[in-house]
Structure 1
Amino acid sequence: MDHTTAETQLLDAADTLFYERGIQAVGMDAIRAASGVSLKRTYQLFPSKEHLVEAVLRRRDLAIRAELEAYTSARTTPTERILAVFDYLYEWFRQPDYRGCAFINSFVELGAGSENVAEIVRTHKRAFADHIAALVAAADLPPARVGQLLILANGAMVTAAIAGSPEPAREAREAAQRLLDEGVPD
């Protein structure tokens, strides 16, 4: 098995297992078994579980950024692009395997003990904030809307996972619509 194939299989298996069960509940042997990559080769590619966690999060970060950009840019107006963020969340929350935001979950599990994981999570959330900020600026709305929309989106991610329902995305979208309807505050 070549380097790229082994790495892809490991990342796919680890991503699935970490997301389904939690990072701390999954051992390297379970990842080896799920990936079909030998334990020796696993440790050649990823010297520690933390290295594997970091690689999984970095890969997921790039995928989510690309998906969200494509989803929001497909909308016509700046306001529709902002609201599309919440439509994207709704579609995500409807997935049968939705277990919350992998970045929030990782931070809760490892953030205090792993500065590298915490920094990857912060980078991802900053990129999400930057995306929202660009949409808000394009809609000619006050910068204060960025933080408000982020709270709605991140709150919906957590609430949907706990409730086991996609509806928090719809509720957050309605609240976002009210914020956008307000326009510039007094």
Structure 2
Amino acid sequence: MIMIKKIFLCFLGLILIQSAHAQIYSSDVCFYIKTGESLEKNNGITYILFDGSRLITSSHTSYYVKKSLREDPNFFYNYLKNIDSNSEGNFYKYSSSKSTPKREVYIYRYPGYHDYFLNYAPHWRCIAVSPDKNSFISWTEYDDGTISGKQYYIRIDKKELLPKISDYDFLYE
């Protein structure tokens, strides 16, 4: 009976530690744009939800992102959490072997795809995030060690995507 209590307490302790870890490392959605691109054009915006030792990511055009944020400021948080609950999408897991003091690296294994028209070899998608989450680098790494498609992104403030507040003081004149 004492052994069962000890096992139960150990199990309970592990659950509490995991929930504390998730609370410490979870955050709001961060929005990024490729370095050198402008928000004025309809460029792609990548958004990331950091969730413990993994991240969930997706992207849409700036028009869609701005429109969705106007309708619901929590749209993308809910969208990424919905992807999480449906077990679809791009889940990147933290890679301690690739991470450095300057970048936290997250990896996602893409299994590959083959049909009559298209053929994609299995590969790793990698994202290296700065510790302050102000920038990240994404790239593809193939099983033979080849690296391709390196892209640099910078963080944009969510306020830049929301509509500007208009000054309606003239209505009181």
Shorter-normalised TM range: under 0.3
Q: Which has the larger helix fraction? A: 1
**Structure showing greater relative contact order (alpha-carbon pairs closer than 8 Å, 6 or more residues apart):** 1
- State the TM-score, normalizing by the size of structure 2: 0.26
Larger Rg, first or second structure (1 or 2): 2
Q: Which has the larger strand fraction? A: 2
